[in-house]
Structure 1
Amino acid sequence: MRIAQLANPGAAFFSVLGQVTQPIFDAGTLFRRQRASEETLVQAQAQYRAVVIAAFQNVADTLRALQADASAVAAASAAEKATEESLGLIRKQYSAGSINSTQVLIAQQGYLSALVTSAGARATQYADTAALFQALGGGWWNRVDVAPPPPEPDPLKFL
């Protein structure tokens, strides 16, 4: 007999009443969901801030490295020039007969070593320059998601 009462049109009222009052008696579920969404937003903002700070730090580190590289290249170039002059003087002394060939070879070895050091300093500077382009978002001029501007129809406009 109770199953027959569920088919009664009056039973539908209690079904609708239960559905309407369900959000009222959710024990704070909606509030907690809103709070969780707000905390997720705060977390995303903190992550974005950390990424931006890391990007600035990366650029600053690269600029500092380039500054140090400039000093290293200057020192290596000065050492290269000094050993080259020294080698020239030693060759003149060898031609005059005042020193032997071993000393010329040692001077050549010093000059070549300074030359390698100078090339290494320049290579480091070039690598750090490439790192700066990368830290600044390198390759932005080759983006494929942005169409290049159409060519100018009037070639004389720039003249």
Structure 2
Amino acid sequence: WTEHADKKGRVFYWNPASRHSSWQHPLTPSHKALVAAYRRIMQEEDRLAAIQSELEAFQQQVEEEVKGWRQSHAPDGTPYFYKIGTQNTRWDNPRDELMAHMDLRMKMLQELSQMPSLLEEVAPPADVTGLDRTQDSAGLSEAAALTDGPGSPVAP
């Protein structure tokens, strides 16, 4: 894929191998899938297991997609590819594009698995209001002392 601009300055992408153009970046579907995966991962308690599950799902998805493509040859001997059960054909090998998407997803999810901050539970933010709240067994506030700085109470 190569990036180009039309006469109005709008960016589009051109794939000379497939002779296909698109207004959308060719990896946009993978970026959107990664955002959705990240959201799912962040909702899980065991985030490392969730990352592994996402990696396996992406790999299975690509393997299934690759299985549907076959190579043939045009009358002049030029190889082309067609997808079984559809009328989709292309001159370039779809495996190359699928693997580019797979590589991006795998690398990003593997990077997430290496981030210690992602795998830790998110602690509530520090009390930045200056209120020191303590509660009794009934859950009622016993004290709410304003401070002027670290450890210095402010008179009411």
- Give the TM-score range, shorter chain: 0.3 to 0.5
Instruction: Output the TM-score relative to the length of structure 1.
Output: 0.32
Structure ranking higher on relative contact order (CA contacts 8 Å, 6+ apart)? 1
Instruction: Output the TM-score relative to the length of structure 2.
Output: 0.32
Q: Kindly name which structure, 1 or 2, has the bigger radius of gyration based on alpha carbons.
A: 1
* Higher helix proportion (structure 1 or 2): 1
* Higher strand proportion (structure 1 or 2): 2
